[in-house]
Amino acid sequence: MALHFRRGRDGHIRPWWYGEFIRPNGKRAVENLNVPIEGTPPKSGRVKDFGDDVFEKSRTRALVALEALQMDAQKGRMTRAAALKQYHERTGEPLQAAPISALLSARDGEGRRRSADSMRGDNAKLRAFVAWAQKRGMTTVLDVSVAEARAYLSEVYNPTAPRFTARTVRRIKGVLAIALGRTLPEGATNPFRHETLRVVALEGDQEYHREPLTPEEVEKLLNTASAVDPEAHDWIVCALSTGLRRGDVCRLRWANVDAKAQALRLQTGKTKTDLHLPIMPKFAEVLARRMKSLDQNSEYVFPEAATLISGKNGMVISKRVKKVLAMALAPCVERQDEAEALPMLSGP
């Protein structure tokens, strides 16, 4: 545990003590202790140095508040009554706990850019949990305990009727943890971040610890693709050279190709991230060949792939690439699962 100063944009120390402590999940956190800094701080501006007597007394009160905060964190989830009492003591105002339905809008207005597909998926996860919680009589976010969180995850992921893979359930857990973190009152522990809440893969769940293809396997893959599916060969070269997802490979436009700078400039479809990627030698060969052979009026580098992905036939692309992988890597059956590691197959 340690005390901290925080400075505003003007460089001056903010008038409140901040404390560093460890959450139950083992992560470090720094929070406002709601204890005012009084007196004259040390001239050095360093928290470890001494100020006047009034300042040192306020330091003592801050240490007491920090110790209480750490103890609360170690206890796990606070009771509803304790959380309401603590908030009232710190702010002097009564707290109206957010209703469970507040989780549905907890991620609205996020600063980071997210694709429409990502937002729809996360909102569906939140709606499913809120409906489940309301059926169990939960009315506010403080009613969600670690036991309830564990019960929910066990219901969507169990040996008798698993509805999702371990990977998807971990994603559900993360989405709910973020939403609760934004709606729980100060001091309340987030049940979906509790250290005892883990998603362990069930027997038979397809969870791979993948290894990248070796240079020899890549060469064999490209040789096979060139022989059995030349079009897929070019997709694979693009994917291996850039790390782009399937949709970004299929929708790659000639306008994204800066031949003079030997670079690609594009925005990814899923995360809307601006990328500036060098054109690798093997991919440069593919681009040069396609420039000569394709219709100069073509908008896309891979017109066939663009047509398939636009027609919601993305799985056709994945099947063709998987077929080439299976042929290239056979009889190494255990390596065929590595097909999923290709960015071409990661979608959307």
- What does each of the 348 residues of the chain score in pLDDT, given as a tens digit? 688 888 877 778 888 888 887 766 667 778 888 788 889 888 888 888 888 888 888 888 888 888 777 776 665 545 555 655 665 566 565 556 789 999 988 877 665 566 677 788 889 999 999 999 999 999 888 889 888 998 898 888 876 766 788 888 899 999 999 999 888 876 677 899 988 888 877 776 655 556 778 889 999 999 999 999 999 999 999 999 999 999 899 999 999 999 888 999 999 887 778 899 999 999 999 999 998 876 657 889 999 999 888 876 668 888 899 899 889 887 554 444 444 445 555 555
Q: How far is CA 165 from CA 82, 171, 200, 204, 315, in A?
A: 37, 10, 10, 10, 20
Query: Mapping DSSP to helix (H, G, I), strand (E, B) and coil, where does residue 2 land?
Result: strand
- 319 within 8 A of 339, measured Cβ to Cβ: no
- In whole angstroms, what is the distance from residue 324 CA to residue 322 CA? 5
- 145 within 8 A of 69, measured Cβ to Cβ: no
Amino acid found at 108: D
CA-nearest of 227, 241, 345, 348 to 301 is 241
Q: Is the pTM of this model over 0.75?
A: no
- 270 within 8 A of 247, measured Cβ to Cβ: yes
